[in-house]
Amino acid sequence: MTEKTRELKGANMDIDLIPSDKVEWKMDECPWNVAEKTIEHKCAVKDVSLCKYFRGIKKPDTIICTFQQEKEK
């Protein structure tokens, strides 16, 4: 597996990257949720925890995430 750093749009600092019709901005989906067909992964839960793949925030609202991908053959 190789590690790929991703920049994901849609941060709201109570960060879950689970797109919703209730938000007006473009929001990418969590690549871990897509790969695992779940909605369990959240980048951050306010005052509780950070996802182990979370690497930070880039202004104004982009999440930096380390998503592992299989090496291309």
Convert the pLDDT of each residue in 34-66 to its tens digit. 999 998 888 877 777 778 888 888 877 788 888
User: Is pLDDT above 80 for 30?
Assistant: yes
pTM of the predicted model as reported, rounded to 2 decimal places:
0.57
User: Is pLDDT above 80 for 18?
Assistant: no
Largest CA distance in the chain: 42
Neighbours of 11 (CB within 10 A): 21
Burial class of residue 67, CB neighbours in 10 A (0-12, 13-18, 19+): middle
Average pLDDT value over all residues in the chain: 78
CB-CB contact of 41 with 15 (8 Å): no
Contacts of 14 (CB under 8 A, 6+ apart): 44, 45, 46
User: Is pLDDT above 60 for 12?
Assistant: no
